[in-house]
């Protein structure tokens, strides 16, 4: 057998000249107009979510305080977390319908202001954000101000006292931690969560005060406000009848149906300012009305005043 020697120049395919090698151009960086607007929307979303979660967590406390005005708790009228969320569905849909256009308007205004100033507004905002002491101070003062709702529960505060509390609490409790947290991206994200959470809690305590005041108005006037209806309070009235002979009880007076649980109706007697319970098996409800119209100047407690006078 004869051996065939392969020459070195034929062992590997010849290299193509540099001019013949196809070079793919590097992709150009995308220039997206409105990138600052998208970043603004992301920042808004990162703050809105903890606000919403904290506000919903505090909301149930407000519902408990609202029903406590009538001497009952939410469980006794059949209201738990799932029922509350179900009653809030229509309110959440309305809030979503309002929030989406609002965010669009805010983003549009931010874009317009940035264009009118030739990008100076965005540069100013970014410059403030990059100065850790300024950002930490603003966040600390805001967190101090969110405690206004908590202190309102213990008494009424004027504007001067509230400013002193916000500044003092913010500087003493939040300024240094927020400054240290801004050294890393994780800390900056944590600052947003804390600020958003405290904002939701502060709004929640203001909501508690409004719900309690609204419940007191219902107890005195027999008419619920729009805020109480928005959080699922049922302004529902009925005439109670006996299940045995279907005859009206309590002189046929209208009673507010606060709710039902464990086979029991919980009713509020507007005329006597009393909350009482009746078993379902012995009770019929008739002439049920939602949000009944009241004559001007109507108040509850007519029979209670007569009884106290006697």
pLDDT tens-digit map of 45-88: 677 888 888 888 888 889 999 999 999 999 999 998 888 888 88
For residue 57, give the 3-state DSSP assignment: helix
Which residue's entry shows tokens 């009241």?
Answer: 294
Q: Supply the pLDDT for residue 125.
A: 80
Q: Supply the pLDDT for residue 240.
A: 94
**Which of 39-43, 44-48, 86-90 holds the top average pLDDT?**
86-90
- Does residue 168 register a pLDDT over 70? yes
Q: Supply the pLDDT for residue 36.
A: 56
Q: Supply the pLDDT for residue 267.
A: 94
Eight-state DSSP code of residue 259: E
> What tokens were used for 229?
């209806």
Residues 121-139 pLDDT 10s: 888 888 877 888 888 898 9
Strand partners, 237: 256, 289
Residue 87: CB atoms within 10 Å: 17
Residues 286-297 pLDDT 10s: 989 988 888 888
Assess contact for 243 and 284: CB atoms under 8 A.
yes
The C-alpha atoms of residue 72 and residue 259 are separated, in whole angstroms, by 10
Q: Supply the pLDDT for residue 309.
A: 62
Lowest mean pLDDT among 40-49, 99-108, 167-176: 40-49
Assess contact for 202 and 55: CB atoms under 8 A.
no
Contacts of 227 (CB under 8 A, 6+ apart): 210, 211, 214
Burial 250-270 (b: 16+ CB within 10 A, else e): beeebbbbbbbbeebbbbbbb
């Amino acid at each position: 057998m004869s051996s065939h020697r392969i020459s070195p120049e034929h062992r590997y395919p010849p290299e193509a000249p540099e001019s013949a090698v196809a070079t793919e151009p590097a992709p150009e960086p995308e220039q997206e107009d409105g990138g600052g607007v998208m970043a603004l929307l992301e920042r808004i979303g990162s703050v809105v979510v903890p606000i919403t979660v904290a506000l919903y967590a505090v909301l149930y406390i407000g519902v408990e305080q609202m029903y406590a005005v009538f001497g009952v708790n939410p469980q006794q009228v059949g209201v738990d977390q799932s029922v509350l969320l179900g009653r809030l569905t229509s309110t959440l849909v309305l809030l979503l319908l309002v929030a989406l256009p609002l965010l669009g308007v805010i983003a549009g205004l931010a874009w317009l202001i940035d264009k009118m100033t030739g990008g100076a507004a965005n540069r100013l905002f970014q410059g403030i954000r990059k100065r850790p002491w300024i950002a930490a101070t603003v966040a600390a003062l805001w967190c101090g101000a969110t405690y206004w709702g908590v202190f309102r529960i213990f008494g009424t505060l004027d504007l001067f006292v509230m400013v002193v509390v916000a500044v003092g609490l913010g500087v003493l409790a939040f300024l240094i931690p927020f400054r240290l947290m801004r050294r890393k991206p994780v800390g900056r994200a944590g600052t947003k969560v804390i600020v958003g959470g405290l904002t939701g809690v502060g709004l929640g305590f203001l909501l508690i005060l409004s719900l309690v005041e609204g419940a007191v108005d219902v107890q005195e006037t027999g008419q619920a406000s729009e805020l109480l209806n928005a959080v699922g309070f049922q302004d529902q009235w009925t005439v109670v009848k006996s299940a045995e002979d279907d005859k009206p009880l309590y002189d046929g007076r209208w009673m507010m149906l606060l709710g039902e649980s464990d086979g029991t109706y919980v009713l509020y007697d507007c005329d006597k300012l009393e909350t009482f319970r009746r078993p379902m098996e012995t009770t019929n409800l008739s002439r049920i009305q939602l949000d009944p119209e009241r004559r001007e100047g109507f108040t509850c407690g007519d029979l209670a005043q007569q009884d106290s006078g006697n």
